[in-house]
Amino acid sequence: MTANRVRGFDIRQQGGFTFVAALCFFALYVPIAILIVFSFNDNNSTAVWRGFSARWFEAAWNNEQVVEAAIRSFQIAATSALLATVAATMAALATTRTRPYRGLQFKYAFINQPLIVPEIVLAVALLIFFSRIKLATGYSGLGYLIAAHTAFCIPFAYLPIRARLENMDLSLEMAAADLYATPWKCFRRVTLPLLWPGVIAGLMLAFVVSLDDVVITEFVKSGGQETLPTYMLGQLRRGVTPEINAISTVFLLLSVGIVTVFFFASRKRT
């Protein structure tokens, strides 16, 4: 009994842990592996293997609609992630670099509301809101998608930035203030360099979430504003071909590459 208390609870020592973990990994990654394999299928069917071929990647590369939708997706994701990260950084500073007061917990809940409210509810609300603006202004550009994605991505960027701020030692910031550094200079020279890993993590999360969003994009977009996920959804309604598998494989590799780059960049600054 004493030895068990000293060692503490370790879930890896529990019976069946290895089996359950292997089952979870199997359920998560085997479908992805099958998708990647069948993206190289020479057959027009996605279920019957006929031979190895890269022709579906070539077909996707030569598809102007796919290229246009991919470029638009990256434009929206990059802009939305940058705006969401800036807003999340300011919100995190405002809610952590202050004394506790009544209403602070409500602000936490308000900022993280998009994580709690079902995405379909937020999509319908944005559709109604933006439709009024469209009627009043006549503008129907990408600004609505960027604004919608930014609002949805703010909590994803806020959480890692706030966590980083809460775990930071305040002694360096206090020392800079004691040496008569202005608040802006203290932030630029002390806080931001220490906060940078959290900012990178928030930017990465916001970018990936915006890049693969379907529900909000489907409700808010105007005609001719297909993103890559909504284009793929439209193609799936007409019939699945290995071209969709090829697009999904490239999409997966790009996402993994982006996450890897941000991961190593944040480690260097830690």
Residues 24 and 117 in one domain: no
Does the residue 220 lie in any domain?
A: yes
Does the residue 50 lie in any domain?
A: no
Does the residue 113 lie in any domain?
A: yes
Structurally, the chain folds into a number of domains equal to 2
Q: pTM (2 decimals)?
A: 0.81
Q: Which residues pair with 52 in a beta bridge?
A: 41
Determine the Cα–Cα distance for residues 37 and 60; give it in Å rounded to an integer: 16
Dihedral sign for Cα atoms in the order 75, 77, 81, 83: positive
Does the residue 46 lie in any domain?
A: no
Residues 141 and 243 in one domain: yes
CA atoms within 13 A on the CB side of 121: 6
Residues 113 and 12 in one domain: no
- pLDDT tens-digit readout, 16-42: 778 888 898 888 888 888 888 888 888
Residues 29 and 115 in one domain: no
Q: Quickly list H helices, 112-241.
A: 113-116, 119-137, 143-166, 171-178, 183-186, 192-211, 215-220, 228-238
Domain that holds residue 20: 2-38
Residues 23 and 63 in one domain: no
- pLDDT tens-digit readout, 178-210: 787 888 888 888 888 888 888 988 998 899 899
Residues 26 and 114 in one domain: no
Residues 153 and 194 in one domain: yes
Low-confidence ranges of the chain (pLDDT < 50): 1-4, 6
Does the residue 49 lie in any domain?
A: no
pLDDT of residue 253: 85
In 3D space, the residue among 259, 235, 260 whose CA is nearest the CA of residue 248 turns out to be 235
Determine the Cα–Cα distance for residues 160 and 167; give it in Å rounded to an integer: 11
CATH number at residue 263: 1.10.3720.10
Burial class from Cβ neighbours inside 10 Å (0-12, 13-18, 19+) for residue 14 reads: exposed
pLDDT of residue 243: 82
Alpha-carbon torsion angle 179, 180, 183, 187, nearest 10: -30
List phi, psi (to 5°) of 41: -75, 135
Determine the Cα–Cα distance for residues 246 and 230; give it in Å rounded to an integer: 16
Residues 30 and 104 in one domain: no
How far lies 252's CA from each of 131, 195, 265, in Å?
Answer: 33, 29, 20
3-state secondary structure of 113: helix
Residues 18 and 99 in one domain: no
Residues 27 and 105 in one domain: no
Q: Specify the amino acid at residue 96.
A: T
Residues 78 and 103 in one domain: yes
pLDDT of residue 269: 55
